[in-house]
Structure 1
């Protein structure tokens, strides 16, 4: 937990009970929703913990939720939360986007007359990507196994696919090959480790050894089409750049500042793209102009090439989402621990067992 997170948590604990009384009163009127206190404050509103309990004759359902509330009398951004709710409702079936929760017995229904805006969301119980990286560093890790990095990267690509082509039902998958229509142009504009959170273990190859990672907080998202700004990046190109920058930080578990690097020429011919592009990739490759050694010799070079391509200075040089999916899914599906056998730790460091242990130590057991 960094300093700003500790301050937010202390502020949350210091909130006077009477300031929460108006909100708590709404939940006290419900026999299904139970108010559990303040979780934190954000730029648009405050987030509260809620317990949902539904009693039936044969069984009962209990689920932990969170609710994001914007109250205009407390300086919250009602318009921003209202917009975010609309965006999340359009993304409601997307597996790698935090899910909204609807209830016919919404205890806040009458709060609309006070000018409030709110969103009920699933609780992401396993913490943020940033908190995971901090715990990993605290446990003595300098980096993560390549096979785990590929899986984290693929979750980010899936979130980009979700934003570009939102699923229309819970049965839809997130493969780009099914999409023929124009992408939405939705740019998140705030992708960082605090807005990526781990969910529970999930079925399937992609999450067999590490939990699903989901994107949240669409408060400053906007739609940007190429036809609107011919010389600027589309929403999809912005998202691709942002996940490239995020992954560059994940490679070294960097949580103290956002990745930056000097612009260097990167040969992408191995990926089938333009042979040389400019990218701020010196931090993951070294700067050849100064004969800098490779700073990350044990991190898969192909992964670093893809990250450099995502960060390409010219938006038109960045890969298409379907290529990113194809490259990274192939690595997740096919790359075995033995492939990295010559690295320190060898195949053991890249094994499923090692990744399980890191996940258990730094995600599941750390909360």
Structure 2
């Protein structure tokens, strides 16, 4: 659709629809620019919102065979450029971290666009199995607890993400990814991702290591609000608290968010290496610790992550998660004293079946692909174009015979023109707005943000633990503006 047609359309719309149409026009501009690259095929939208969007492209070789899919992320206007530039800065530092969504080199993607009239863009790896939010919505609907061994594996992924922020690998473009480890010889960085929610956890692929042979990697994305805290102690406190919050909500995925209590501190205990009981305060919902068939060491470690006075140091946290993730199904049944009917769910076969049913093969409720899963259009029915950035699909070169143009005879009837990208973007935005309206009507109160009590507690408890009766009421902070353009909500 040309500019004059779009301009005429804008004049006929109300203010809300004008914003939506302008959003679609920006998406159209970005998609059109990248479609000029003969090595890129447009595949659809990964997400589009008020702050920016993310488009899916397939990279092809000289024989027009797809090699891999990529995400092109852009900001919607100049006021949101800063977040995208900030994300590019931190992703450069985090290049090479196995559990962080990676920026990839693409000639046409650049955040330095001064004087060009273009939108700043980033090229990111395509992570193919959707967000943690989508998985939890599917699995939580079954009203069943997640197996302990899967929880330990997810826990370990989140800890490795925290380690990546403390010791960014600063790898070269296309350098091999490396597993994040604590480096006691290097001073840690006080980086926080600063936008913690389940749609910023994306489910990746398996590999041939013991750590991800059964449960796929979990990647952290969106560093648009990444920032350096005042010191590493503060950063570790927030990052470890984030890990605990995520694990608490993942463990209680079958319970609605508004029913989870993560604001009221209460007392629990753990045993140190000498066997001495150590009491501590935690913001963990008590149902995490009292869940049926939960590994008590897993539940206690989640509670410690959400404690203002008993958080584990990063080295201890990594060691405990590695030990938990390494347990076999039989070992877990003994340690957690599992019910006989639950024990099979902790075996390799039980976890593989869960992942296959709820992640790899799961359709959306209404038959369409989930809005936050980065697959759109024909990709829903075609074989995947790639097995991920780490394992590009290599196809043999096929020699094609040249096609001769017909000289005489009847010509094929002209095909109908393809719908413009602008119209497609408008339709997608309309679907998003309709879904927002439905969710708003169903909610009696606005969605609660993470960290609403934890940060307040941290800054008020510098003089030691405070008894619950002495606590000031925890005030609900202003709603956080969820800015991730890949989060279409």
Determine which of 226, 229, 237 is the counterpart of 1:224. 229
Residue aligned with 2:54, SS: strand
Pairing of 1:201-280 with structure 2 (within 5 A):
201-226=206-231, 234-253=234-253, 254=255, 256-257=257-258, 260-270=262-272, 275-280=278-283
- Using the size of structure 1 for normalisation, the TM-score is 0.82
Q: Residue in 2 aligned with 1:330?
A: 323
Cα distance, 1:175 vs. partner?
Answer: 2.0
CA contact (8 A) 2:72 2:109 kept: no
Q: Distance in 1 between matches of 2:40 and 2:193?
A: 31
Q: Residue in 2 aligned with 1:38?
A: 45
Q: Which has the higher contact order (CA 8 A, sep 6+)?
A: 2
The question of 1:55 aligning with 2:62 is answered yes
Label 1:115 to 1:236 Cα distance change in 2 as closer, same or farther (>3 A): farther
CA contact (8 A) 2:111 2:121 kept: no
Q: Distance in 2 between matches of 1:219 and 1:244?
A: 22
Cα distance, 1:40 vs. partner?
Answer: 1.6
Cα distance, 1:63 vs. partner?
Answer: 1.1
Q: Residue in 2 aligned with 1:102?
A: 105
Q: Residue in 2 aligned with 1:133?
A: 136
More off after superposition, 149-158 vs 27-36: 27-36
CA contact (8 A) 1:151 1:206 kept: yes
Q: Distance in 2 between matches of 1:116 and 1:60?
A: 29
The question of 1:354 aligning with 2:363 is answered no
Pairing of 1:1-367 with structure 2 (within 5 A):
20-42=27-49, 44-55=51-62, 60-72=65-77, 77-103=80-106, 105-106=107-108, 112=114, 113-114=116-117, 116-138=119-141, 140-169=142-171, 170=176, 172-176=178-182, 178-226=183-231, 234-253=234-253, 254=255, 256-257=257-258, 260-270=262-272, 275-284=278-287, 295-314=290-309, 317-340=310-333, 342-344=337-339, 345-367=341-363
CA contact (8 A) 2:44 2:57 kept: yes
What is the RMSD of the two structures over their aligned residues, measured on CA atoms? 2.7
Write the deviation string for residues 86-139 of structure 1: whole angstroms up to 9, x where unpaired: 101111100000011102x3266895512622111111110111111111123x
Label 1:39 to 1:161 Cα distance change in 2 as closer, same or farther (>3 A): same
Residue aligned with 1:284, SS: helix
Which of the pair is proportionally richer in helix?
1
Q: Distance in 1 between matches of 2:112 and 2:85?
A: 16
Cα distance, 1:218 vs. partner?
Answer: 1.0
Which one has the largest radius of gyration?
A: 2
Cα distance, 1:179 vs. partner?
Answer: 3.8
Q: Following superposition, which runs of at least 4 residues in structure 1 exceed 4 angstroms of deviation?
A: 13-19, 107-112, 271-274
Q: Distance in 2 between matches of 1:17 and 1:71?
A: 10
- Using the size of structure 2 for normalisation, the TM-score is 0.63
CA contact (8 A) 1:44 1:81 kept: no
CA contact (8 A) 1:27 1:108 kept: no
Which consecutive unaligned segments of at least 5 residues does structure 2 have?
Answer: 1-19, 364-489
Cα distance, 1:67 vs. partner?
Answer: 1.1
Q: Distance in 2 between matches of 1:247 and 1:336?
A: 20
Q: Distance in 2 between matches of 1:16 and 1:222?
A: 27
Label 1:263 to 1:172 Cα distance change in 2 as closer, same or farther (>3 A): same
Cα distance, 1:161 vs. partner?
Answer: 0.7
Cα distance, 1:210 vs. partner?
Answer: 1.0
Q: Residue in 2 aligned with 1:6?
A: none
Label 1:361 to 1:161 Cα distance change in 2 as closer, same or farther (>3 A): same
Q: Distance in 2 between matches of 1:255 and 1:122?
A: 32
Label 1:309 to 1:36 Cα distance change in 2 as closer, same or farther (>3 A): same
Residue aligned with 1:77, SS: helix
Q: Distance in 1 between matches of 2:321 and 2:297?
A: 10
The number of aligned residues is 333
Write the deviation string for residues 250-303 of structure 1: whole angstroms up to 9, x where unpaired: 112146347615311222334679822211134336xxxxxxxx6313111111
Label 1:259 to 1:361 Cα distance change in 2 as closer, same or farther (>3 A): farther
More off after superposition, 105-114 vs 251-260: 105-114
Residue aligned with 2:145, SS: coil
Q: Distance in 2 between matches of 1:77 and 1:196?
A: 22
Label 1:115 to 1:366 Cα distance change in 2 as closer, same or farther (>3 A): same
Write the deviation string for residues 172-195 of structure 1: whole angstroms up to 9, x where unpaired: 43221x442111100112222111
Q: Distance in 1 between matches of 2:213 and 2:160?
A: 16
Residue aligned with 1:78, SS: helix
CA contact (8 A) 2:43 2:58 kept: yes
